[in-house]
Chains A and B, each alone.
Chain A
């Protein structure tokens, strides 16, 4: 990261990174060459690296507290920052494929931790491809919330299989979500919104939240307001399409 006195990438006044040094294209090919370390299994995830104040040493994790929220494709971290103060007792992590953007979120969290002692200790970010490595990070039924905010639409039909929400990938998301856990999706692309809703609707291990439940969930409002993307859509007066579903147990099947 190039830093010089005249043009620091971290703002002197706020201690927070300046976005323009971390800009990257919105799209990243999930299939292309990437080299990044991936934990061998969920027990290999280094909690002391991500949450140093809560886990001072690598050995100290007694296994009782685990990551519960995962923001898949967290972008510049808007949602995570909001969730961090809303759920101060919960560990959460963002997963992002783009290198520069992940660096930005890292710097942002560090800056916020410095400026606000004992806050933001429960949030972290990791550069990874969540379409391939989610089972490496999370145990069965570990997560209580998963977020997919404004994912890449992959417009061309031949690229639909690169979409982060798909019938097959939902099997894996259902695996890492606990029963009763919630998956939140939102997009400003209508076709993608219908796609995600239809995938969730057709998957036997997810059921939609009722209107009442949606109204009662403080997180739902954040979907369209907390992130860069969300704010941009609001500024442009665009419409958003959300699908919020709960992980249920598979209904027992009768002998046919």
Chain B
């Protein structure tokens, strides 16, 4: 018989985003739901570790590791911060640009030297994923309708006034929320993953503004939504090896040229065994991060207090679980992972904004795992170890900036951590509406394009 049972009502969610009438007529609890949609904290590391960025809610926090100081973001055109939850942050591979975007429908492009916002792009819908082309000439973002947009950026010119750019559609996943957007290491392909289990590999053309029409392959195999993508760089294939994580608790490895599934690693089962929580079924893969220079993949799993390390065997093209690095003494379940191309450290953040049932409105806690340097032939094998706060590059200053405070009160942390967990669960699972509510949403749906 044919495969997984598909439920087609996913569309409703992305369809109904422009609902402005809804608020006044909804019950209070429902109204709370809409405005209190929790956003997980995200982390991104500069390719050569010049800086580290964390976003929590609408707040974007950057620490300059080169100069050992907090960064003050500058945006002449508008506010230097987003006005609603940030859903995607990323550094460009060449290290010159940084992009942030989210629920306020604004895509902001920043120079990583001056941390000035050099361009702002308006999106018609809320943004769910972002990516910068390796040469830094294009920024792509995906909206909640499944359309991936592209905008071109002329050479970064510090003296120019910030640009208000208009994006054009690049490609689309029909009515499916795109969860992740990544460029292949050689820049030839752009990969988009969606909540309908699909991964599409598209040739990134020389003139992206004309659209990316040539589909290279579809990587099909996940039996649940795909939540994250990452590339392993290997000298054999310039296009890299793609790894993906999803709601089916697996990490999968793909050949993007053919779309074939190379290997699958059922990380959920292993995580259940290792983690000390007895609650079932919270083993979605929430983020993956490849650690360059050692073909290791760090995996964040929904209920795991720590990360799972997978090792990738390039010759046999297989994945295997290497070990689980647990975080002791703190209820730390990472919501986002990051690493620099120079490797060596894995950065993690846990947190969320718009927390309910907690005194603080947002939480952000950063931790680092070290021990991934390529060991010299003589040295004994390095073991990955969680660094204590004082050992983290940037130390107390970095933590103060990225967390909002040097240390987080344990009670607060516990209450918030619980809220984070619920939030991640709710975020990843498709919203289901009662029949009444669905009819109401259908009636009041507004599909008109915004007038700018």
A contacts, CB < 8 Å to B: 31-42, 44-46, 49, 129, 131-133, 135-136, 140, 158-159, 167-172, 174-175, 203-205, 250, 253-256
Contact = CB atoms under 8 A, between A and B. Distances in A.
Contacts of A49: 1-2
A205 B210 CA distance: 13
Nearest to B170: A168
Given A35-B6, A37-B5, A174-B213, A168 B223 contact: no
A34 B3 contact: no
A189 B213 CA distance: 27
Contact of A33 (B9, B210, B448): B9
B7 A33 contact: yes
Nearest 9 pairs of A and B residues by beta carbon: A40-B3, A168-B172, A158-B447, A41-B220, A175-B215, A34-B8, A31-B11, A33-B9, A135-B218
A46 to B, nearest CB: 6
A170 B211 CA distance: 12
A108 to B, nearest CB: 21
Interface string B2-27: 11111111011001000000000000
B3 A44 contact: yes
A40 B4 contact: yes
Interface of B: 1-9, 11-12, 15, 147, 169, 171-172, 174-176, 196-198, 200, 202, 205-207, 210-215, 217-218, 220-221, 223, 259, 447-448
A171 B220 contact: no
A120 B284 CA distance: 45
Contacts of A39: 2-3
Nearest to B438: A33
B206 A255 contact: yes
B422 to A, nearest CB: 26
B431 to A, nearest CB: 14
Contacts of A172: 174, 215
A37 B8 contact: no
30 contacts: A32-B8, A32-B9, A37-B1, A38-B2, A39-B3, A40-B220, A41-B3, A42-B220, A46-B2, A131-B174, A132-B174, A135-B198, A135-B200, A135-B218, A140-B217, A158-B447, A158-B448, A167-B211, A168-B169, A169-B174, A170-B213, A171-B215, A172-B174, A174-B213, A174-B214, A203-B213, A204-B213, A205-B214, A250-B213, A253-B206
A40 B198 contact: no
A119 B197 CA distance: 37
Contacts of A36: 5-6, 8
Contacts of A41: 3, 220-221
Given A171-B215, A256-B207, A132 B8 contact: yes
B147 A168 contact: yes
Nearest to B6: A38
A40 B221 contact: yes
B40 to A, nearest CB: 27
Contacts of B217: 140
Contacts of A253: 205-207
Contacts of A44: 2-3
A204 B223 CA distance: 33
Given A132-B8, A256-B206, A168 B214 contact: no
A37 B3 CA distance: 6
Contacts of A170: 213
B191 to A, nearest CB: 14
A40 B223 contact: yes
Contacts of B202: 171
Nearest to A255: B206
Nearest to A136: B220
B112 to A, nearest CB: 26
Nearest to B200: A135
A34 B259 CA distance: 27
Contacts of A256: 206-207
Nearest to B211: A167
Contacts of B447: 158-159
A233 B200 CA distance: 39
A7 to B, nearest CB: 32
